[in-house]
Amino acid sequence: MRFKDMSWRPLAVLALGVAVATPFAVALPGEAAAEIKICVIDDHSGDFALPNIPKTNGAQLAVDELNAAGGVNGEQIELIHYDGQSDVKRYQELANKCILDDEADVIMAGYTSSEREAARAVAVKNKTIFWHNNQGEGGIADKYSFFTGPIPEQQILTGVEYMIDTYGPKMYVLAADYGFGQVSALWTHVAAGLFGGEIVGEEFIPLGNSEFAASIANVQKAKPDFMVHYLVGANQSQFYPQAQAVNLGLPAISTVNLQQGYEHRQFSPPSLANMYIPVAYIEEIPTDANKAFIEAWRAKWPDEPYINQPARCAYVAVHIMAEAWRRAGSTDTDATIAALESGITFDAPEGRVLLDPATHHLTMNIRMAHVDDAHNVSWVHDFGPVEPWWLRTLGVNLVRQNDGRQYLPWDDARYEKYKKE
């Protein structure tokens, strides 16, 4: 993995960056190198443990690579991990511990949007850099907040248009009943409006729910051309074997499955048959860089069931932070944020990514994966590098101004006409 300064950048971003170049900090001979501290809060128990353990491991792999190469600015990096236990209430407490007790230089936290916001509020209040290393519902424009996962314009708009073109206009939405699922459903209404689709049914499923008989009956009655899934966690993933047991047999698109909970490996075929997933990363990504990434991973964790997208997200976040600290010459927060906004690119396992200075989200390659009856994955479309463009169209430019808020689709006058009643 290598950084390439300013060499791959959409024209819309070129004028936004502020270069930072200061001398590196170097420990004197015989002087103990101070530690840079990364505080990670990930669920290693509870409903969300399965996709989160690889996420922590991704951060640890990056830390180990950096330390083996001499650290950053003469300092070693320490990764501190706390188990969020899939409990939102713990995230605020643990974020405070990261800042006040551990004096962390950066916090990386949250699987769900609820967990993310509990920890992020603490980090922002204390002017501490925060990373969310999972896909999200997008729209957050904040000076201290950074994101490595794909967002709606990269997955929902691209993916729903593909499904309408391939299968027809009628879709049925099943979404987890919390921030991520609710806002993702809003974006699905936008996509339906933009691309000639029709939402013939929509349900919001409580977190932890694992019974889907009524939902499956509703879908059968509505007769959609395809389904749209925003289901999260081990319990909600039980939809797939239940749907297969009654031969529901509908194509579906998901922005969650495979890339987080690797259901195509967990459940027996053909539970995930004819599932489409617009992804930045899954273990099957067909690149030479990913082969090297997998080899390094398996050397450290040979028994890991699957390398998922959150694992890649955390790995990328640590390496981008390291490059920002190098450019800043220290871990000073203001200098580091300026460096993060200087146009950092990184060769991720799936291809090069760019941290967009204006929005603090990544430009990344998006590919459409398809699961067949035997749960083999094939690649049916390559969308290429997709920018996090939507916030910029609203005038967001965090280099110049800290909006300090989250925008929703209806904050965009162009999309008001697609708002559901």
- CATH number for the domain formed by residue range(s) 154-283: 3.40.50.2300
Supply 85's token pair.
């236990």
d(CA 149, CA 316): 10
- Residue in the structure block whose two tokens are 């013939």: 200
Q: How far is CA 192 from CA 106, 195, 196, 270, 388, in A?
A: 38, 5, 6, 28, 20
Relative to beta strand 198-205, strand 170-176 is parallel
- Bridge partners of 192, per DSSP, are none
- Bridge partners of 308, per DSSP, are none
Residue 11: pLDDT band (50, 70, 90) is very low
Q: What is the pTM of this model?
A: 0.90
Give the mean model confidence (pLDDT) for residues 378-402: 98
pLDDT tens-place string over residues 332-351: 999 999 999 999 999 999 99
pLDDT of residue 419: 80
111 in Cβ contact with 134 (< 8 Å): yes
CA nearest neighbour of 355 among 336, 373, 334: 336
For the chain, the farthest-separated pair of C-alpha atoms sits apart, in whole angstroms, at 74
Local structure of residue 206 (DSSP, 8 states): P
pLDDT of residue 234: 86
3-class DSSP assignment, residue 8: coil
Residue 94: pLDDT band (50, 70, 90) is very high
Residue 328 has pLDDT above 70, yes or no: yes
pLDDT of residue 147: 98
Q: Which fold has domain 11-151+287-365+383-410?
A: Rossmann fold (3.40.50)
Residue 327: pLDDT band (50, 70, 90) is very high
Give the mean model confidence (pLDDT) for residues 94-117: 97
Residue 233: pLDDT band (50, 70, 90) is confident
pLDDT tens-place string over residues 249-289: 999 999 999 999 999 999 999 999 999 999 999 999 999 99
pLDDT of residue 421: 53
3-class DSSP assignment, residue 345: strand
d(CA 103, CA 106): 9
pLDDT of residue 34: 62
Helix axes 179-195, 152-167, angle to 10 degrees: 50
Higher pLDDT, 26 or 268: 268
Give the mean model confidence (pLDDT) for residues 50-64: 97
d(CA 349, CA 297): 12
d(CA 84, CA 97): 12
pLDDT tens-place string over residues 282-310: 999 999 999 999 999 999 999 999 999 99
Give the H or E element holding residue 218.
helix 213-222
* Composition of the chain by helix, strand, coil, percent to 5: 40, 20, 40
Give the mean model confidence (pLDDT) for residues 66-84: 98
What b-and-e string marks burial along 77-110, b requiring 16 or more CB atoms within 10 Å of the CB?
A: bbbbbbbbbbbbebbbbbbebbbeebebbbbbbb
Domain boundaries in the chain?
Answer: 11-151+287-365+383-410, 154-283
Residue 4: pLDDT band (50, 70, 90) is very low
pLDDT of residue 20: 31
Residue 173 has pLDDT above 90, yes or no: yes
pLDDT tens-place string over residues 36-48: 999 999 999 999 9
String of DSSP letters for 349-404: TTEEEEE-TTTS-EEEEEEEEEE-TT--EEEEEEEEEE---HHHHTT--TTT----
CA nearest neighbour of 334 among 66, 27, 18, 67: 18
Residue 314: pLDDT band (50, 70, 90) is very high
Please provide the average confidence, as pLDDT, over all residues in the chain.
Answer: 92
3-class DSSP assignment, residue 131: strand
CA nearest neighbour of 315 among 57, 15, 16: 57
pLDDT of residue 33: 53
Give the mean model confidence (pLDDT) for residues 390-406: 98
- Residue in the structure block whose two tokens are 């460096």: 339
